[in-house]
Amino acid sequence: MTKYNSLGVIRNVFNGPEDYAIALASDSDTAIGAIALTLAGGSTLFPKDDATQAELGFWIGEPFWGRGYIPEAARELLRHAFEDLGLSAVWCAYYEGNTKSARVQQKLGFEPVSVTPNVPVPLLHEVRTGHENRMTRAQWEQLNAK
């Protein structure tokens, strides 16, 4: 994916009220990725009218893979989801073969809920197997007990 494709992903996919750029502390003017909570009505992982849940999505440029930036940003966004927004659950999904995304979700404590074959991926003009995961507020509280 070129930097121009990446810019398109950030502008066209990550553009909601709970969407945030990921930047390095040393260069806060340059986005290296994006992370978002998609609230009621915007996700297919939970009922459209359920305002107590959200979907977590993230993307980071390939040169920054494996450096811990997504888990760091996701932990803060999960804190925000449960403490500030009062959500009951956050969902996250990945497509078969995306081992990096699967590993991030596992590290964060998401638990598998379902596997769905033949999921259309319009941005890539493909059909893939989707893995849907969820973290409840109780799970988050247990993981973050001091």
What global pTM score does this model have?
0.86
Q: Secondary structure of 86-107 in the HEC alphabet?
A: CCCEEEEEEECCCHHHHHHHHH
pLDDT tens digit string along 48-101?
888 899 999 999 999 999 999 999 999 999 999 999 999 999 999 999 999 999
Looking at residue 4, what is its pLDDT? Answer: 46
Burial class of residue 52, CB neighbours in 10 A (0-12, 13-18, 19+) = middle
Residue 29 has pLDDT above 50, yes or no: yes
Domain boundaries along the sequence of the chain: 6-144
Token pair recorded at residue 63: 């040169």
Residue 9 has pLDDT above 70, yes or no: no
pLDDT at 94: 95
pLDDT digits (tens, 9 = 90+) for 90-145: 999 999 999 999 999 999 999 999 999 999 988 789 999 999 999 999 999 999 98
Measured over the CA atoms of residue 125, residue 113, residue 9 and residue 107, the dihedral's sign is negative
Which CATH architecture does the domain made up of 6-144 adopt? 3-Layer(aba) Sandwich (3.40)
Query: Can you list the alpha helix ranges (DSSP code H) found in 19-136?
Result: 69-79, 99-108
Mean pLDDT calculated for residue range 29-53: 87
